[in-house]
Amino acid sequence: MLTQRSFRDVLGRFTTGVVLVTARTEDRLAGMAANSFTSVSLDPPLIALCAAHTSTTWPLIRSSGGFAVTILSDHHEEVCRLFSTPGADRFAGRTWASTPSGHPVLPDGLGWLDCRIQSVQRAGDHELVIAEAVDWNVAAAGVPLIFHSGRYAGWPPDFL
């Protein structure tokens, strides 16, 4: 059956990592978890992500013109859940580092990128966001937080 449920299910079979998309906006820090993050271009360095129209956080991030991406490690499941919980105090109780643009990043992620929004295009119930990476840092190798069929895993994955 070609239902919205089975569409979600088939897309869930595509294994991804998870990132935090964060920004220092005019009046506060804003951030959300995302697994739609992907690389787009090496020259110039471009990345993309999709943000739901229902997100209350994305318009705040968009209004700042840029954002940081923290690539999550397997020990970040809790912070990932926090950054997808509506109304939660997402930045409390953790130490944050800052990118050169002033956006918050987790100091113990697998890496971060400092991004400037290049285009935002309506795409169904999401916005397709393309952004230029203006700075980045590669951390020491580590185990990524893996997301598959709506579940988190580390390495080796234990979905089956």
19 lies in the binding site for ligand FMN (CB under 6 A)? no
Greatest C-alpha distance within the chain: 49
Tell me the Cα Rg of the chain. Answer: 15
Structure-token match 């220092």, residue found:
24
Q: How far is the CB of 86 from ligand FMN (least distance, A)?
A: 5
Of 66, 68, 147, 153, the one binding ligand FMN by CB under 6 A: 147
Judge whether 26 and 64 are in contact, CB under 8 Å. Answer: yes
Give the shortest CB-84-to-ligand FMN separation in angstroms: 3
Binding mask 63-82 for ligand FMN (x = CB under 6 A): -----------------x--
Q: How far apart are CA 29 and CA 138, in angstroms?
A: 23
CA distance 80 to 90: 10
Q: Which is nearer to ligand FMN, 87 or 100 (CB)?
A: 87
Is 112 among the residues that bind ligand FMN (CB under 6 A)?
no
Stretch of 49-57, 65-73, 93-101, 130-138 lying at the interface with ligand FMN (CB under 6 A): 49-57
- Which of 84, 96, 118, 154 contacts ligand FMN by CB under 6 A? 84
Tell me whether strands 16-17 and 46-52 are parallel, antiparallel or unpaired: unpaired
- Nearer CB in complex with ligand FMN: 126/139: 126
How many C-beta atoms lie closer than 10 Å to residue 157's C-beta? 12
Rounded Cα distance between 112 and 140, Å, is 12
Is 55 a binding residue for ligand FMN by CB under 6 A? The answer is yes
Residues that bind ligand FMN (CB under 6 A): 18, 32-36, 49-52, 55-58, 80, 83-84, 86, 147
